[in-house]
Structure 1
Amino acid sequence: MSSWTITGQYMETCNCAFLCPCLTSNLTAQPTEGDCKAAVALHIDKGEKDGVRLGGLSFIVMLHSPGPMGQGDIAVGLIVDETASPPQVEAIRAIATGSAGGPMAMLAPLVGRIAGVERRPIRFEANGLMYSVSAGELVNQACEGLASVTAPGQAIGIDNIAHPVNSRLSLARATRSRFHAFGIDWEDATGMRNGHFAPFAWAG
């Protein structure tokens, strides 16, 4: 029986031009800017780990890959909602780093450095095809899904991909991306960069 389960909503933006080549190459392609900078944000609607309730909390996994993600040497930093208690922070840290098993464990062999954990007030908002996340001065990002003409109200999606959050992601363009965390610095508001969102259901 799983010692933890969490479900909720996810969104991210990255510095790659749309569409990120990582997804269509199984993480083997060179990022469009040479390296990859991404903020993977998750809001937990409900869940717990070893009796510690996690519903209502958000966290952001900051990633920097110096080249193709599949080659490893990825730096990872974690931002946790400042309202989380110490046991909740530890539970989220274990889940987000993959040390507690679950989907993030698939990335663990590619991680070369854990940059640390920061606490900030995280605001996660979803409204139709519009998603936005902020974490104090560290992250401010938003994306808009590519509307489907065959499924009104839904975004165009991509299936069967190697992504730890979900094997199906909605495609989106980043309307803004600002990262200044763990030495990962990026700013863009051109609307030409990559974004995604999806529900998630993790267990370990």
Structure 2
Amino acid sequence: MAWQISGEYMETCNCAFLCPCIVTNLQGRPTEGDCKAALGMHIETGNKDGVSLDGVDFIAILQSQGPMGAGNMTVGLVIDSAASDAQVEAITAIASGAAGGPMAMMAPLVGRFAGVERAKVSISREGERWTTLAGAFIDETCEGVLNMAGQPLVLDNASHPVNSRLALAKAVRSVFDVFGIQWKDDTGNRNGHYAPFSWSG
């Protein structure tokens, strides 16, 4: 059956701003040698196989050992503990690419699906500052890079599964500790993005 989800997303990663992965179509070497990123996803409206996904928050976290385009990535999901088992099943199918849609184009690059963890996930926004929290697993905040008129600078026509138009942001805080993926930084010099999304399959 057809499915659709739409809402808002934010992410931080361990690359120095501006992430070479996004501007080299995943062929560039990450600035730290490997790539670690956490994508916080807030579903405003969604449905799969008759299961409502309205209001569910989840995080896709990944690690590549070199350029993302080389594949063999590890990917895992942290899904809000308030989600039902049916919602978890639906989101897992969508976010893993098993149900088709935008994440399916990333599936050939994934060497290991690390599974699903449950935690209280919250994604919040204050102006151009976004924060995603998930228990002891994820604590990340990014803030948009603004032009002189106070509007976010954007990267357009990007080859990114969430949206082809991404706001540029710097990671204010970026802490990951889940699925063996660990990272901690609060220098303000790391990469981030945010954007609305609308997926279907």
TM class, shorter-chain normalised?
over 0.9
Within a 5 Å distance, the mapping from 1:13-162 to structure 2 comes to 13-150=12-149, 152=150, 154-162=151-159
How far apart are 1:128 and its partner, in Å? Answer: 1.6
Structure 1: tracts of 5 or more residues without a match? none
Equivalent pairs, count: 201
Whether 2:199 is the aligned partner of 1:202: answer yes
Q: In structure 2, what is the equivalent of residue 178 of structure 1?
A: 175
* Matched AA of 1:119: R
User: Using the alignment, how far apart are the partners of 2:22 and 2:138 within structure 1?
Assistant: 23
Q: In structure 2, what is the equivalent of residue 187 of structure 1?
A: 184
* Matched AA of 1:139: I
Moved over 6 A (4+): none
* Matched AA of 2:198: A
Structure 2: tracts of 5 or more residues without a match? none
* RMSD, aligned CA: 0.8
Q: In structure 2, what is the equivalent of residue 4 of structure 1?
A: 3
Q: Show CA shifts across 1:112-149 (max 9, x none).
A: 00111000000100122100000000000000000122
Give the secondary-structure state (helix, strand or coil) at the position aligned to 1:22. helix
User: What TM-score comes out, normalization by structure 1 length?
Assistant: 0.97
* Matched AA of 1:64: Q
* Matched AA of 1:117: V
* Matched AA of 1:156: L
How far apart are 1:88 and its partner, in Å? Answer: 0.3
How far apart are 1:46 and its partner, in Å? Answer: 0.6
* Matched AA of 2:69: G
User: What TM-score comes out, normalization by structure 2 length?
Assistant: 0.98
